[in-house]
Amino acid sequence: MLRKGIALAALGLAFLAAPALANTNALPPKEAHWSDSGPFGKFDQAQLQRGYKVYREVCSACHSMNLMYFRNLGQPGGPFYEEKYKNPNDNPYVKSIAKDYQVDDIDSETGDVVKRAATSADAFPAPFPNEAAARASNGGALPPDLSVIIKAREEGQEYVYSILTGFGAAPPAGLKIEAGKYYNPYFPGGVIGMTPPLAADKVTFDDGTKSTVDQQAKDVVAFLTWASDPKAQERKQFGLGAMIYLLIFSGLLYASYRRIWRNVAH
């Protein structure tokens, strides 16, 4: 009897473990080219602007970006940076974007909580007041903060791009998709709680770029890449100088070394 029980329990465990094993068997992310990759790679500012628009009009309904401030949009390397406005707080574009949002403040006279238009010094407002509210609106799944999402996943750019464009295929036989869940072979486990967010022409690009799902996905990934490491371009530029300096310095030291040791047998 006991033996049978153990055998049954083991069988049950094996069944439980099967989907757990499948979990790690997500498809490898799709290959794609990114303009910022490599030591000399640069972001395409028009693409960053389109990507920001996708984030603002689509993703920000569910995903916060707590580490981002409106002023970041106008800093060097950012989507709306202009030579004329060294201080991003003066950038009219950034100001007008911020103005469209209402944020909480405290009336300094009465102490009441009031709403006011956001300024470039404010953070991007979060869509939900707390985790419980976010889960309640998303069928129990939590939309993660996207501030550093590209750094927070292996092969972040390819991965997020694949998730966004990976909806629509028929799930393999045996994988049960509950209501409010979707099949996405690039997501670990294959079942994601995110409604397919993108659709053709969902976002109108001001520069006339054709608004396909693929284009929207690439653009928003470019924007998220920039946001995950806004100093990456500055870092690479600085790096070039540092490398040249170190190479010359090493050369000089090597020459001195040869010279100083020239009379020593060693």
Partner 1 sequence: MSGHSTYEPKSGFERWLDERLPILRWSADHMMSFPTPKNLNYWWTFGAILAMCLGVQIVTGIILAMHYVPHESLAFNSVERIMRDVNYGWLIRYLHANGASMFFIAVYIHMFRGLYYGSYKAPREVLWILGCIIFFLMIATAFMGYVLPWGQMSFHGAVVITNLIGSLPIIGKPVTTWLWGGFAVGGATLNRFFSLHYLLPFMIAGVVGLHIWALHVPGNNNPTGVNVKSKEDTVPFHPYYTVKDGFAMSVFLIMFAVFVFYFPNVLGHADNYVPANPLVTPAHIVPEWYLLPFYAILRAVPDKLIGVLLMFGAIAALFILPWLDTSRVRSMRYRPTAKLYFMIFVLACIVLGFCGAHPPDQQVINGFATFQLLDSDLNTWVWLSRIGTLYYFAFFFFILPLLGLTETPLPTPESISEPVLSNSANAPAGAAASPEKRG
- Residues lying near ligand HEC in the complex (CB under 6 A) are found at 54, 58-59, 61-63, 138, 141-144, 149, 153, 160, 163-164, 192-195, 197-198, 220
Contacts of 225 by beta carbon, 8 Å cutoff, 6+ apart: 34, 36, 43, 150, 156, 157, 232
Interface with partner 1 includes 243 (CB under 8 A)?
A: yes
Among partner 1, ligand HEC, none, the one that 19 touches (CB under a kind-dependent 5 to 8 A) is none
The sign one gets for the Cα dihedral 258, 260, 261, 264 is positive
Among partner 1, ligand HEC, none, the one that 58 touches (CB under a kind-dependent 5 to 8 A) is ligand HEC
Shortest reach from residue 186's CB to ligand HEC, in Å = 9
Nearer to ligand HEC, 94 or 194 (CB): 194
Shortest reach from residue 60's CB to partner 1, in Å = 19
Nearer to ligand HEC, 127 or 230 (CB): 127
Shortest reach from residue 211's CB to ligand HEC, in Å = 12
Interface with partner 1 includes 148 (CB under 8 A)?
A: yes
For 134, 154, 186, the CA distances from 170, given in Å and listed in that order, are 28, 25, 13
Residue type, 197: P
For 136, 146, 148, 157, 228, the CA distances from 152, given in Å and listed in that order, are 24, 9, 6, 10, 9
Return the residue nearest ligand HEC (CB atom). Answer: 59
Residue numbers 4-43 binding partner 1 by CB under 8 A: 23-24, 39
Nearer to partner 1, 39 or 208 (CB): 39
Shortest reach from residue 43's CB to partner 1, in Å = 16
Among ligand HEC, partner 1, none, the one that 230 touches (CB under a kind-dependent 5 to 8 A) is partner 1
Stretch that binds partner 1, among 47-55, 166-174, 198-206, 254-262 (CB under 8 A): 254-262
Residues that bind partner 1 (CB under 8 A): 23-24, 39, 66-67, 72, 144, 147-148, 151-154, 156, 188, 229-231, 234-236, 238-240, 242-243, 246-247, 249-250, 253-254, 256-257, 260-261, 264-266
